[in-house]
């Protein structure tokens, strides 16, 4: 009987012992609580509007918007880097509280000690999203 009781107690502790209350979620800043916007990273060759935007930021960095009849394109560049191994990553596109389109991007560098190309590079990315006339802002994390 004691063995059965011990077995049931052990099974109960095993089944329920690892459960804990979920932490309360912190509210997001208002600019990022709006709805997400679908986007797609593009590969070369770019459509003309995207290519024009990309060419204007490729070497000096920054971002530029271009559009055609169906799409809005955003070219984001880091400017010149002295080695390879750098890239731009877009983590999300959303409509902010004030109606503007907010693109969250970040620079990814080579890992410490990684072998890299010893050449000047110009990391950039071009994304497309549904056509919009709203202001677009890129924020680097």
- Domain residue limits at 97: 29-140
Q: Is residue 2 situated within a structural domain?
A: no
Number of structural domains (the chain) is 1
Quick one: pLDDT at residue 35? 84
Report the C-alpha gap between 92 and 125 in whole angstroms: 13
Q: Is residue 6 situated within a structural domain?
A: no
Report the C-alpha gap between 39 and 89 in whole angstroms: 13
What is the tens place of the pLDDT at every residue in 117-136? 999 999 999 999 999 999 99
Percentage of the chain lying above the pLDDT 70 cut: 76
What 8-state DSSP symbol labels residue 41? Answer: E
Q: Is residue 83 situated within a structural domain?
A: yes
Quick one: pLDDT at residue 10? 53
Quick one: pLDDT at residue 2? 57
Q: Is residue 42 situated within a structural domain?
A: yes
Q: Is residue 76 situated within a structural domain?
A: yes
What is the tens place of the pLDDT at every residue in 29-80? 443 445 899 999 999 999 999 999 999 999 999 999 999 999 999 999 999 9
Give the predicted TM-score (pTM) of the model. 0.74
């Amino acid at each position: 009987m004691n063995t059965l009781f011990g077995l049931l107690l052990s099974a109960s502790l095993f089944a329920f012992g690892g459960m804990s209350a979920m932490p309360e979620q912190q509210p997001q800043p208002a600019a990022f609580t709006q709805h997400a916007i679908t986007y797609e990273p593009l590969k070369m060759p770019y459509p003309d509007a995207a290519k024009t935007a990309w060419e204007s930021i490729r070497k000096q960095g920054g971002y530029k918007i271009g559009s055609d009849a169906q799409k809005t394109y955003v070219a984001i560049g880091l400017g010149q880097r002295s080695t390879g191994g750098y890239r731009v990553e877009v983590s999300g596109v959303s409509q902010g509280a004030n109606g503007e389109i907010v693109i969250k991007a970040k620079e990814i560098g080579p890992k410490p000690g990684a072998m890299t190309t010893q050449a000047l590079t110009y990391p950039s990315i071009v994304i497309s999203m549904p056509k919009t006339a709203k202001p677009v802002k890129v924020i680097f994390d």
